[in-house]
Amino acid sequence: MSNQKLFNVAVVGATGAVGEQIIRLLNERNFPINELKLLSSERSAGSVIKFKDREITVQAAKPESFEGVDIALFSAGGDVSKLLIPEAIQRGTVCIDNTSAYRMDPETPLVVPEVNIDKINEHKGVIANPNCSTIQMVAALKPLYDRYGIKSVIVSTYQAVSGAGAKAINEMLRQSKEILAGNEANPQILPVSSLPVKHQIAFNAIPQIDKFVDNGFTYEEMKMINETKKIMGDESIEVTATCVRIPVVYGHSESVYVELKSDFEMEEVRQLIADAPGIVLQDNTAEQVYPLATEAAGKLDTFVGRLRRDLNNPRALNMWIVSDNLLKGAAWNAVQIAEYIAIEAN
């Protein structure tokens, strides 16, 4: 360990909901850091963040910020990634991007370590972190894919407001208080901050996450469809998604119907999921044990339960998948990738 290489690391979007978790995980995991640069927009620059025994002042992200940086973790929105990742790559930085900017770029690996860590070495300067709702689903499906193959997936999501950022959390909590006090919800952020129509999220379910595509699906739904194929490395997997925002702070839940390519025994399915890396089986109906968003919040794993054979299709089964969308769905998956890069370099 004394000869362990130390890295100059930058976190772009350091003051955001995901950036905050990345910094916490780099600390808790004792990531081998020489210098840590915390970067943000001009507006958020100047704040001071404690990291181990250091106090680090957040700086406005600029192309020159990446001089001497080995690894940069981006979660400051797609526009920032598109602007600054080429600059960082030019300066020799390996970028891990949490936005959708590079995910479907054929040159960019889209990585969930439990599924396709082997792709990490194919990068040309940037490795993309998938969408939160996709990560937990593919992590849970991977052991079934390897053993049986997957023909199709039909997923309906129950997504937490933290997926839309700190402002959406505040909005949901504020609306809840207002309504409990007998006042109006007065929605201002959700479902999509850049679109004109706003809907109440407190005590409601909004079947829109991100903008709509011409085919009637949302971008969020198309991300689940397209990213699943890319991460699994199998364009033949048929995915149908309906993405819904519900009044939960942390933790996305997913109701998943999956049709396998071959026959299966439920006992083997249970064992495969229990043994899979990063997955915790929580499935005991007699004791009312199943994954819950409130219990997954703050944890790094993906939780799977409500496992049951479909009553109609002998090759299908149903499951309930829950994970903390800011951790495995974003910050932890990114830090996992950074850890693999660090190990490879040693």
Residue ranges at the known binding site for phosphate: 103
Closest listed residue to residue 58, CA positions, set 41, 72, 38: 38
Give whichever of 111 and 161 is closer to its own copies, judged by the CB atom. Answer: 161
Q: Is 252 part of the annotated catalytic residue set?
A: yes
Catalytic, out of 95, 123, 132, 243: 132
d(CA 79, CA 149): 37
- 292-331 binders of its own copies (CB under 8 A): 292-294, 305-313, 316, 318, 320
Tokens of residue 186, six digits: 């007065």
In the block, which residue shows the tokens 């819904």? Answer: 244
d(CA 12, CA 38): 6
- 161-190 binders of its own copies (CB under 8 A): 173, 176-177, 180
E-state strands within the chain: 7-12, 33-40, 48-51, 54-57, 59-60, 71-74, 94-97, 126-128, 150-158, 238-242, 252-260, 279-281, 302-309, 316-323
Closest listed residue to residue 330, CA positions, set 40, 128, 129, 112: 129
With CB under 8 A as the contact rule, the residue among 6, 48, 60, 205 that binds its own copies is 205
Tokens of residue 297, six digits: 């919040």
d(CA 245, CA 288): 25
Which residues are part of a known binding site for substrate?
Answer: 159, 245
Which residues are part of a known binding site for NADP(+)?
Answer: 15-18, 43-44, 162-163, 325
Count the residues of the shown chain that bind its own copies, applying the rule CB under 8 A. 60
Which residues are part of a known binding site?
Answer: 15-18, 43-44, 103, 159, 162-163, 245, 325
Which range touches its own copies (CB under 8 A), out of 5-13, 86-94, 126-134, 192-200? 192-200
Catalytic, out of 95, 123, 243, 252: 252
In the block, which residue shows the tokens 């949490």? Answer: 98
Angle between helix 266-275 and helix 132-148 axes, rounded to 10 deg: 130
Q: Does 200 bind its own copies (CB under 8 A)?
A: yes
Q: Is 132 part of the annotated catalytic residue set?
A: yes
Binding mask 239-258 for its own copies (x = CB under 8 A): xx-x-x-xxxx---x-x-x-
Cite the active site residues. Answer: 132, 252
Positions touching its own copies (CB under 8 A) are 152, 154, 156, 158, 173, 176-177, 180, 191-192, 195-197, 199-200, 203-208, 212, 215-217, 225, 238-240, 242, 244, 246-249, 253, 255, 257, 285-294, 305-313, 316, 318, 320
